[in-house]
Structure 1
């Protein structure tokens, strides 16, 4: 079997209110129509604040790394990747250090899986973490790259396969995203949405093949994973590299596609929503969460942790669902053995990744 033993999360020091971030965005254009759109969308996101490795979004700062106020030139991909390399390792380590008893768990780590879609370099984040943590140099490593917001569940699925095949496995999964280094001074609907919801963050998970003392008061057993690609949403969530950074497609059709397909997906895998006591849903956006609840006839209180993470952090891409899962599992002492948990996240393609868990 496989068990989630611990989750640690971290965000950068720079915290900005949604008002400050939307003001920064509005000040990058002189078009009153765009300004009005930005203000309206910002007020509907359900986000109170977001975090960034950059200080640039503070109107009062003079310490710029990427977006100086005096320049209208869009930073290049090289500049953005240099900042990713500068900050990704330290933010990853901060998340790992939040894992309870991490000092005692480190010698047992047999595998490491790193996850990111916001930056790449080589030797990569996996080797950097092995060096910084002084892990066994024979630690097996792999990476899930450029797969978007549901990549954490894909990494957990890979870790689950490792744990089920190796009885002594301890897998460290680290998801780190610096979304704000990809801010673009573009004003079509896709960018107005993406510039107003994404933030920076990291999450680290320990998964083991044997039940161990964990942070939650109850053992959390991983049972099953399922995937579905919605080909009719192929162009509604996507991005590609360009000379000036990542070019984003994120349309307003995404929530509706998820709403139409999530119940048929659960029916197909034989899962009845009323059988699930705990939900950890990726807050891709407020409309996505609202429509997910409506599609399954769920009381929104069952998604309280999802709404809270969205409010407090925004969408951090891959680590976000782990922030939610951590908050859900922190209430484990009030649960009873046998209660079921369900996690889901949504990514490019349009793809849905799900995970079923159980307290034992």
Structure 2
């Protein structure tokens, strides 16, 4: 059972935001020229990276005044589907439809290919494997493989065969979770990264779209194209006690006495680095903040009038970035007008994202 769909209020006010709550959002100058596929903040500094269908990866700095400046740009030979930082914040890894995995050295301003797949690369992450925390790049592809790369050699140090094409992937601590086509979910313990430790079917009935791991590394949030989210745990006992699914990114509209239900894709899930609460963002142009432990929506924001294709918190959690652009969820017939691609930085307030104390 979920309490997320019930209208609630908290001690600090309504859980429903207004346009005034978006008034201080910053619009990023010089955004990508096509749909933004991924957003990621540096874990060490006020920089973020945006990958795009225009074949480019852009790095921006958030200045002390809260504005943004473009700092670097490098290219792939086809649309880029994923871009993330290394843990020391000195490099960016990326992968895309040119089948390449690239590493960009921010200080040197140089990009190099460190890996290649047989089909487009859907997701990349920087992880630490084994008891010695060996740093490696992991990439998931539509060629139905997961590959680990040492940045100093051309061949993968390990390859895992997956049941289907990779659609989403994330990691936290020693947990790596991969969602593939046909709703397969593969869990990998990075202490033993060369094999799948647990495989299951998604509890959601439709295609997997997004995955984000909990900060504790004991579970993950899963989103689908059907406007649903699932909070899952690796341990079966914990899953039985605390795991659940709920509806989100849905709207009800009444026309001529008839009620129409609109269901939107959940494109992005992000976890707050301090509180462990979550943000979901979808093709309805809305984002919402959630407390999974209390099964409570903390704040829901009005539509930004375009699909949100990617989102991310910065390292301190006081900025939530969302990318706007066409996500093809309604098919090609809605793509006749050039999409206005945009990145917005929302200054996050504690009373929007922090867990609320239970009222007696």
Given the two structures, how large is their TM-score scaled by the length of structure 1? 0.28
Structure with bigger strand share is 2
